[in-house]
Amino acid sequence: MDNEKMEVLQSADQYLYKLKSGVLELVKLMQEEKEQEAILIIPEIADGIDWITKVIDLTKDVQKEHINLENINEHLETIIEALENQDYILVSDIFNYEIIPILDKIHDEIKIIIAN
């Protein structure tokens, strides 16, 4: 396997722990009705998700099975709409019940690639 791609996947593996932690922090803040604090970390989460999707795209040739992003962009669009409508419960739910499971699956698949 290309060493550079392996290094990128290892970086993604480590970064996904931080990204998922950030998403869980956002969910916690939303549930505590600290929406303004939560909104401040959304750009960082969006940048992290963007970076992970680029890593997946750049490492397709070393993936035994293509890592599916499972409509993550569709969920992000729904989050944007919910933010525009100030529906913070929906924002929290999408991050908690849609985005976290997708990130968990991506993380599991990256771990398998690194292990082999």
Task: List the chain domain ranges.
Answer: 3-115
d(CA 104, CA 96): 11
Who's near 22: CB < 8 A, 6+ residues apart?
A: 41, 44, 45, 48
What would the pLDDT profile of 63-75 be if each residue is shown by its tens digit?
877 887 878 989 9
DSSP letters spanning 95-106: IIIIIHHHHHHH
What would the pLDDT profile of 7-63 be if each residue is shown by its tens digit?
999 999 999 999 999 999 999 999 999 999 999 999 999 999 999 999 999 998 888
Confidence band of 1 (pLDDT split at 50, 70, 90): low
What's the pTM value of the predicted model, to 2 decimals? 0.90
pLDDT of amino acid 116: 80
pLDDT of amino acid 93: 97
From 70, 68, 59, 52, select the one nearest 114 (Cα to Cα): 59
